[in-house]
């Protein structure tokens, strides 16, 4: 047990930052405090398997305290009391601060999550800033309509903030998911109680210092802790009026149940996937190979939209597989602070065990390990980039989300064959199609069950473009103007101009 509220990180020799100290207490009312139970959770660096910090193990009581702070801010300084243009300005200030602190934030992300520092800098932090800035732009543009019913009556709609919002995020893109949640909720005038993942809480804690420079106390509150404690307290809270979650389909279901059993709060869920990546025989081969490797091995396969099932048309299967194999073997698996690393470790021991269990199931069920299939090195939670072939659709590796550097490559005959195969999962998050024939690519795009379809590319996520799943991949959309609908309550006001009283 420890009540020390500071993280003191040291970075490997040769890195531009030597060390970093910052607060890690529960962030409530722009102040830091220990958990009410006084307990902490160990945070480990997955590339080195070392304890790097301790953060508070929050409780339901701490969530109550955070909700109270958020409600007070909502009733006094935020919501409709703070005009949209001012909320937008503050979001843009936070975006600027993220950019000014890119080195610190990316270094923390690399140590805490294990992803390559260079990628964290160029992608995670810069996209997080871009997302906050994008929603800063929306803050004074989200408004209702005038509805002219007839000459005697009109109505207006107002898009009001909802109030206190609960948010729960995972560990694969810790800072980026933080920004995806904060941006639209704050732009619309809500106050937030957010739980960051217990395995990767540090970049959000660093960011709280920046939040405290910009936002009034209570507008954003960060409570760390376990899912079945803090997460459950958020999703079942009677005064939290909406909950947004990113994570597993299993937990998404639990959150919906908790919301239904408490105050029927609306729920948005961004869940798992088993996304098909379809390569037709007329595709640009080099491009298809390169995007496909990126589509799965980016972030060590720990992406909800990872292209984990590749379907290759029979006539080009051998050539594609040979080129993909060479590409995958050329990717550097390594420490996050090495300049050329691309594939990092699994983010936790638990995730490492889950991935290796999936690899074992593939072997046991008779699939062929074409590349990899083992642990990489003996320090940290690295796994060799792995390709399975000779896979049948009923195998676990073809159906279940692995969330690691494990790819399944299968053949297909023609359009109808591949559409049936692509849609044969409970998920519907993303899909990609590689073809030079735009008519064919669009036919398939219209037929796959997926919330996002990429044509001749993969893993493109932009703040302006909505993202979310069909089927058991989720409910609602994040990003773009669509995300604003999650965070506003529409009020219709009827105005009588000359309509006579009916009695
Ligand atoms: N859609 C996505 O981006 C993600 C999907 N996943 C999928 O989930 C699998 C399991 O990973 P986990 O970390 O165990 O995911 P998870 O769904 O358990 O964790 C995500 C977040 O939910 C919280 N949580 C856990 N139990 C909860 C509960 N009962 N009530 C409220 N919140 C709760 C966690 O503390 C964390 O903050 C992965 O292998 C992957 O398939 C995981 C992370 C992100
Ligand atoms: N959860 C959104 C981004 C991703 O996991 O790919």
DSSP at 203:
H
Question: Are 261 and 297 members of one domain?
Answer: no
Residue 471: inside a domain, yes or no? no
Supply the range of the domain harboring residue 100.
3-271+476-489
Provide the angle, in degrees to the nearest 10, between the axes of the packed helices 102-113 and 126-138: 120
271 CA: nearest ligand 1 atom: 1
Residue 469: inside a domain, yes or no? no
198 CA: nearest ligand 1 atom: 35
Q: List the CATH number of the domain containing 235.
A: 3.40.605.10
Residue 202 CA, ligand 2 centroid: distance in Å: 18
Query: Taking residues 446-462, what's their average pLDDT?
Result: 98
Pick from 116, 170, 52, 191: nearest CA to 342 = 116
Angstrom distances, CA of residue 483 to CA of 130, 170, 244: 15, 18, 11
Query: For the purposes of burial, counting CB atoms within 10 Å of the CB of 405, is it exposed (0-12), middle (13-18) or buried (19 or more)?
Result: buried
Measured between alpha carbons, how far is 272 from 402 in angstroms, rounded to an integer? 10
Ligand 2 neighbour 123 (Cβ under 6 A): no
| pLDDT 10s digits, 150-188 | 999 999 999 999 999 999 999 999 999 999 999 999 999
Confidence grade of residue 2 (pLDDT, cut at 50, 70, 90): very low
Question: Are 287 and 355 members of one domain?
Answer: yes
Question: Are 36 and 156 members of one domain?
Answer: yes
- Using CB distances shorter than 6 Å, the residues near ligand 1 are 168-170, 172, 195, 197-198, 226-228, 231-232, 235, 246-248, 251, 254-255, 270-272, 304, 354, 401, 403
Measured between alpha carbons, how far is 114 from 451 in angstroms, rounded to an integer? 28
* Candidate of 59, 248, 268 to mutate for ligand 1, largest count of ligand atoms within 8 Å of Cβ: 248
Model confidence at 262: pLDDT above 50:
yes
Question: Are 231 and 285 members of one domain?
Answer: no
Residue nearest to atom 9 of ligand 1 (CA): 248
Pick from 404, 408, 387: nearest CA to 346 = 404
Residue 431: inside a domain, yes or no? yes
Mean pLDDT of the chain: 97
Residue 494: inside a domain, yes or no? no
Active site residues: 270
Nearest ligand atom owner, CA of 271: 1
Measured between alpha carbons, how far is 346 from 363 in angstroms, rounded to an integer? 20
Question: Are 254 and 114 members of one domain?
Answer: yes
478 CA: nearest ligand 2 atom: 2
List the beta bridge partners of residue 159. 490
Residue 248: inside a domain, yes or no? yes
Measured between alpha carbons, how far is 88 from 189 in angstroms, rounded to an integer? 10
| pLDDT 10s digits, 180-225 | 999 999 999 999 999 999 999 999 999 999 999 999 999 999 999 9
Measured between alpha carbons, how far is 259 from 265 in angstroms, rounded to an integer? 5
pLDDT of 4 reads 74
Q: Supply 127's token pair.
A: 């996209």
Question: Are 102 and 220 members of one domain?
Answer: yes
Model confidence at 142: pLDDT above 60:
yes
Ligand 2 neighbour 303 (Cβ under 6 A): yes
Model confidence at 1: pLDDT above 50:
no
Q: How many structural domains compose the chain?
A: 2
Residue 48 CA, ligand 1 centroid: distance in Å: 23
Compute the radius of gyration of the chain from its Cα atoms: 24
Residue nearest to atom 6 of ligand 2 (CA): 303
Query: Taking residues 31-47, what's their average pLDDT?
Result: 98
Q: Model pTM greater than 0.95?
A: yes
Question: Are 349 and 257 members of one domain?
Answer: no
Residue 82: inside a domain, yes or no? yes
461 CA: nearest ligand 2 atom: 3
Model confidence at 14: pLDDT above 60:
yes
Measured between alpha carbons, how far is 194 from 245 in angstroms, rounded to an integer? 10
Measured between alpha carbons, how far is 51 from 151 in angstroms, rounded to an integer? 70
Ligand 2 neighbour 304 (Cβ under 6 A): yes
Model confidence at 248: pLDDT above 80:
yes
Torsion angles phi and psi, residue 229, rounded to 5: -110, -75
Question: Are 264 and 303 members of one domain?
Answer: no
| pLDDT 10s digits, 78-114 | 999 999 999 999 999 999 999 999 999 999 999 999 9
pLDDT of 3 reads 52
Measured between alpha carbons, how far is 56 from 35 in angstroms, rounded to an integer? 5
Q: List the CATH number of the domain containing 315.
A: 3.40.309.10
List the beta bridge partners of residue 434. 279
Query: For the purposes of burial, counting CB atoms within 10 Å of the CB of 374, is it exposed (0-12), middle (13-18) or buried (19 or more)?
Result: exposed
Question: Are 78 and 177 members of one domain?
Answer: yes
């Amino acid at each position: 047990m420890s009540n020390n509220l500071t993280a003191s990180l040291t970075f490997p020799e040769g890195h531009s930052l030597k060390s970093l100290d910052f607060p890690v207490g529960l962030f409530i009312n722009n102040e830091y405090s220990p958990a009410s139970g006084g307990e902490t959770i160990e945070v480990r660096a997955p590339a080195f398997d070392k304890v790097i910090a301790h953060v508070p193990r929050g409780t339901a009581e701490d969530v109550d305290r955070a909700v109270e702070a958020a409600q007070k801010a909502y009733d006094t300084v935020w919501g409709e009391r703070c005009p949209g243009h001012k909320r937008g300005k503050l979001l843009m200030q936070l975006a600027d601060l993220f950019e000014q602190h890119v080195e610190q934030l990316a270094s923390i992300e690399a140590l805490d999550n294990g992803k390559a520092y260079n990628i964290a800098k160029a992608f995670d932090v810069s996209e997080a800033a871009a997302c906050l800035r994008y929603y800063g732009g929306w803050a004074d543009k989200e408004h209702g309509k005038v509805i002219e019913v007839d000459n005697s009556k009109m109505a207006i709609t107002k898009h009001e903030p909802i109030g206190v919002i609960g948010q729960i995020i995972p560990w694969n893109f810790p800072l980026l998911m933080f920004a995806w949640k904060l941006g639209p909720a704050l732009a619309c005038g809500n106050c937030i109680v957010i739980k960051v993942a217990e395995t990767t809480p540090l970049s959000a804690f660093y960011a709280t210092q920046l939040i405290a420079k910009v936002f009034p106390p209570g507008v954003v509150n960060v409570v760390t802790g376990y899912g079945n404690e803090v997460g459950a307290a958020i999703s079942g809270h009677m005064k939290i009026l909406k909950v947004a979650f990113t994570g597993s389909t299993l937990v998404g279901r639990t959150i919906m149940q908790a919301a239904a059993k408490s105050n029927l709060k609306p729920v948005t869920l961004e869940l798992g996937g088993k996304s098909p990546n379809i390569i037709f025989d007329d595709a640009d081969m080099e491009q298809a190979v390169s995007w496909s490797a990126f589509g799965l091995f980016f972030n060590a396969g720990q992406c909800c939209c990872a292209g984990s099932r590749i379907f290759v048309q029979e006539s080009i299967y051998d050539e594609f597989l040979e080129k993909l194999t060479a590409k995958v073997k050329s990717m550097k698996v390594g420490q996050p602070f090495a300049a050329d690393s691309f594939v990092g470790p699994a983010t936790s021991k638990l995730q490492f065990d889950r991935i290796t269990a999936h690899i074992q199931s593939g072997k046991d069920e008779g699939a062929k390990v074409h590349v990899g299939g083992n642990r990489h090195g003996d320090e940290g939670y690295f796994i060799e980039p792995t390709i399975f072939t000779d896979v049948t659709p009923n195998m676990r590796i073809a159906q279940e989300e692995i969330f690691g550097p494990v790819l399944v490559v299968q053949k297909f005959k023609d359009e109808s064959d591949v559409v049936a195969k692509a849609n044969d999962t409970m998920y519907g998050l993303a899909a990609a199609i590689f073809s030079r024939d735009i008519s064919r690519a669009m036919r398939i795009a219209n037929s796959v069950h997926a919330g996002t379809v990429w044509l001749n590319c993969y893993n493109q996520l932009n703040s302006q473009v909505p993202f979310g799943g069909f089927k058991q991949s989720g409910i609602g959309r994040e990003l773009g103007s669509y995300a604003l609908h999650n965070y506003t309550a529409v009020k219709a006001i009827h105005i009588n101009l000359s309509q006579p009283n009916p009695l």
